[in-house]
Amino acid sequence: MDRQLVASTNIASIGYDEPSETLEVEFSDGTVYQYYNVGAALFEQLMQATSKGQFLNAYIRNAYPYSRVG
């Protein structure tokens, strides 16, 4: 999955696959997580958020199933 570099203190890059509704987040320490069943609208909100880390923590991290993939 292609990821875009983002301006964040704890997130390095973010990718999204719309057909599978999979959000992929690479953190600054190199770990990569995939979050499942994330709608496209929520992904767009994340990408527009002033603080991507705060948005991820508030609306995605404990609300969607995920797995560590890297």
Would you state the pLDDT for residue 7?
94
Tens-digit pLDDT profile for residues 24-55: 999 999 999 999 999 999 999 999 999 999 99
Domain extent, residue 52, equals 3-68
Q: What is the pLDDT of residue 29?
A: 97
pLDDT digits (tens, 9 = 90+) for 52-67: 999 999 999 999 999 9
**pLDDT at position 34, please?**
98
Question: How confident is the prediction for the chain on average, in pLDDT?
Answer: 97
Provide the token pair at 1: 């999955």
Q: What is the pTM of this model?
A: 0.96
Domains of the chain: total: 1
Extract the runs of DSSP E, i.e. beta strands, from the chain. Answer: 3-5, 11-17, 22-27, 32-35, 66-68
